[in-house]
């Protein structure tokens, strides 16, 4: 077991810039939940894990969330709990919003110099209250790899898929994630919204068993830094 979660951040910062690098994260309870049945999710994790989330944001070019997270939590998605490097901009904020539901007063649109984009479907009737990237949608679903490519073309090479459950699960299922940071709090919710939800498997040996670094954070949450590069390469 390694001792410093900063090693996990260094793996992202040191990734080559010649191709996209995608890290996904979820903060969850011991029983794999990310929110109570009423949708309350603040705060499952403790301070050190929240600091780690902000260090993740500071290590990427863009932070990506699904519209479900914006509507549920109205997150700012900026870096507040750790310092940015001298001259470093806030990471861009990207919302996957195929049908144009992003409210004009969403906190992530606060003007602090960060770029904001909504990724919508080509046939979306609404115009979002920020810049827009339109992609093809199949059966209501935008291809995660197309999202990653479109963002790479705009110069966003390192991406954090911050949530929620559906968005992170879609990206992993599509083989579009290099690393998954699971921040597990020693807390049992016993009910509520599950974290990862992938295609069902019949056999244990069909499960993903990614090589992982494990870090116990100072206040007792545990970070699993999972290497999903094999799933990315094979998809």
Ligand X SMILES: NC(=O)c1ccc[n+]([C@@H]2O[C@H](COP(=O)([O-])OP(=O)(O)OC[C@H]3O[C@@H](n4cnc5c(N)ncnc54)[C@H](OP(=O)(O)O)[C@@H]3O)[C@@H](O)[C@H]2O)c1
**Smallest separation (angstroms) from ligand X to the CB of 101:** 5
Nearest to 97 by CA among 75, 60, 64, 138: 64
Q: Does 166 bind ligand X (CB under 6 A)?
A: yes
Site string for ligand X, 14-53 (x = CB under 6 A): ------------xxx-----xx---x-x--x---------
- 96 vs 114 by CB, closer to ligand X: 96
How far lies 21's CA from each of 89, 152, 160, 223, in Å? 19, 9, 9, 19
- 14 vs 43 by CB, closer to ligand X: 43
Q: Does 163 bind ligand X (CB under 6 A)?
A: yes
Q: Does 170 bind ligand X (CB under 6 A)?
A: yes
* Selected binder of ligand X within 144, 151, 159, 196 (CB under 6 A): 144
Terminal alpha carbon distance of the chain: 29
- 70 vs 205 by CB, closer to ligand X: 70
Stretch that binds ligand X, among 9-17, 66-74, 209-217, 222-230 (CB under 6 A): 66-74
For 3-72, give the DSSP string: S-THHHHHHHHTS-TTS-EEEEEEEE-TTSEEE-TT---TTSS-HHHHHHHHHHHHTSSEEEEEHHHHHH
Rounded distance between C-alpha atoms, residue 12 and residue 60, angstroms:
8
**Smallest separation (angstroms) from ligand X to the CB of 205:** 28
Q: Does 192 bind ligand X (CB under 6 A)?
A: no
Site string for ligand X, 193-232 (x = CB under 6 A): x---------------------------------------
For 173-192, give the DSSP string: HTT--SEEEEEE-S----SS
- The three-class DSSP label of residue 122 is coil
**Smallest separation (angstroms) from ligand X to the CB of 125:** 13
How far lies 204's CA from each of 139, 194, 201, 227, in Å? 30, 20, 8, 19
- 28 vs 46 by CB, closer to ligand X: 28
Number of H helices, E strands in the chain: 6, 13
Q: Does 99 bind ligand X (CB under 6 A)?
A: yes
Q: Does 98 bind ligand X (CB under 6 A)?
A: yes
For the CA atoms of 150, 182, 85, 73, the dihedral, rounded to the nearest 10 degrees, stands at 70
- 17 vs 219 by CB, closer to ligand X: 219
Contact indicator for 75, 69 with CB cutoff of 8 Å:
yes
Query: By the criterion CB under 6 A, which residues form the site for ligand X?
Result: 26-28, 34-35, 39, 41, 44, 65-69, 72-73, 96, 98-99, 101, 140-142, 144, 162-167, 170, 193
């Amino acid at each position: 077991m390694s001792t410093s979660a900063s090693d996990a951040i260094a793996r992202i910062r040191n990734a080559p810039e010649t191709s996209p690098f995608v890290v996904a994260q979820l903060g969850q309870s011991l029983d794999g939940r990310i929110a109570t049945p009423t949708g309350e999710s603040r705060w499952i994790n403790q301070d050190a894990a929240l600091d780690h989330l902000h260090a993740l944001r500071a290590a990427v070019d863009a932070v990506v969330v699904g519209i479900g997270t914006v509507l549920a939590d109205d997150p700012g998605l900026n870096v507040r709990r750790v310092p940015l490097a001298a001259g470093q901009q806030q990471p861009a904020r990207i919302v996957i919003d195929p049908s144009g539901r992003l409210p004009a007063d969403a906190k992530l649109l606060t003007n602090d110099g960060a770029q904001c984009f909504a990724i919508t479907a080509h046939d979306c009737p609404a115009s979002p209250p920020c810049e827009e990237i339109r992609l093809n949608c199949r059966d209501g679903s935008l291809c995660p790899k197309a999202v990653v490519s479109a963002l790479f073309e705009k110069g966003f090479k390192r991406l954090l898929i911050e949530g929620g459950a559906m968005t992170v699960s879609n990206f992993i299922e599509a083989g579009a994630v290099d690393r998954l940071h699971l921040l597990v709090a020693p807390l049992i919710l016993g009910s509520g919204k599950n974290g990862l939800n992938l295609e069902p498997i019949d056999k244990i040996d069909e499960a993903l068993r990614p090589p992982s670094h494990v870090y116990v954070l100072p206040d007792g949450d545990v970070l699993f830094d999972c290497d999903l590069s094999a799933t990315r390469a094979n998809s």
